[in-house]
Amino acid sequence: MKILIVGAGVVGINLAEELSKEGHEVSIVDSSAEQTRFVSDRMDVLAVHGHGTSHRVLKDAGVERAEMAIAVTDVDETNLVISMLAHKFGVKRKIARIRSHEYAMKDSLLRPGDFFVDRVINPEEIVVDTIEKIVETPGATSIASFADGKILLRGFTVPSNAPIIGKRLAEMREIAEMDTFLIVALSREGKLMIPKGDTEIRTDDHIFVVVSRETLPLFLPLLNRRVDEVETIVIYGATRVGTSLASRLESKVKQITVIEPDEEKARSAAETLSSAVILHGEGTDLDLLKEAQAGRADIFMALSDSDQSNLLSSLLAKRLGGKKLLAIATEPEYVSVLNSVDIDIVLNPRLLTVGEILQYVRRGRIHAVAKLAEGQAEVIELDTIPGSKVVDKPLREVDFPPGAIVAAILRNGQMVIPNGSSIIRAGDSVVVLAVSEAIPKIEKLFARQQFLGL
- pLDDT at residue 241 tops 70: yes
Better pLDDT: 61 or 348: 61
What pLDDT was estimated at residue 279?
Answer: 97
pLDDT digits (tens, 9 = 90+) for 156-198: 989 888 889 998 888 877 664 557 788 999 998 878 889 988 9
What pLDDT is stored for residue 451 in this prediction? 44
Q: Residue 71: its pLDDT value, please?
A: 96
| Confidence (pLDDT) at 209 | 92
pLDDT of residue 68: 94
Over the chain, what is the mean pLDDT?
87
Q: What domains are there in the chain, each with its CATH number?
A: 2-121 (3.40.50.720), 149-223 (3.30.70.1450), 232-352 (3.40.50.720), 360-446 (3.30.70.1450)
pLDDT for 88-119, tens place per residue? 999 999 999 998 877 765 566 567 777 789 98
For residue 55, pLDDT beyond 80: yes
Mean pLDDT of 109-132: 85
Tell me the mean pLDDT in the region 81-87: 95
pLDDT tens column, 223-233 = 876 666 789 99
- Can you give the three-state secondary structure of the chain, one letter per residue? CEEEEECCCHHHHHHHHHHHHCCCEEEEEECCHHHHHHHHHHCCCEEEECCCCCHHHHHHCCHHHCCEEEECCCCHHHHHHHHHHHHHCCCCEEEEECCCHHHHCCCCCCCHHHHCCCEEECHHHHHHHHHHHHHHCCCEEEEEEECCCCEEEEEEECCCCCCCCCCEHHHHCCCHHHHHEEEEEEEECCEEECCCCCCECCCCCEEEEEEECCCHHHHHHHHCCCCCCCCEEEEECCCHHHHHHHHHHCCCCCEEEEEECCHHHHHHHHHHCCCCEEEECCCCCHHHHHHCCCCCCCEEEECCCCHHHHHHHHHHHHHCCCCCEEEECCCHHHHHHHHHCCCCEEECHHHHHHHHHHCCCCCCCEEEEEEEHHHCEEEEEEECCCCCCCECCEHHHCCCCCCEEEEEEEECCEEECCCCCCEECCCCEEEEEEEHHHHHHHHHHHCCCCCCCC
pTM of the model: 0.78
Task: Give the pLDDT confidence score for residue 419 in this predicted structure.
Answer: 86
Q: Is the pLDDT at 454 greater than 70, yes or no?
A: no
Average pLDDT in the 303-313 region? 93
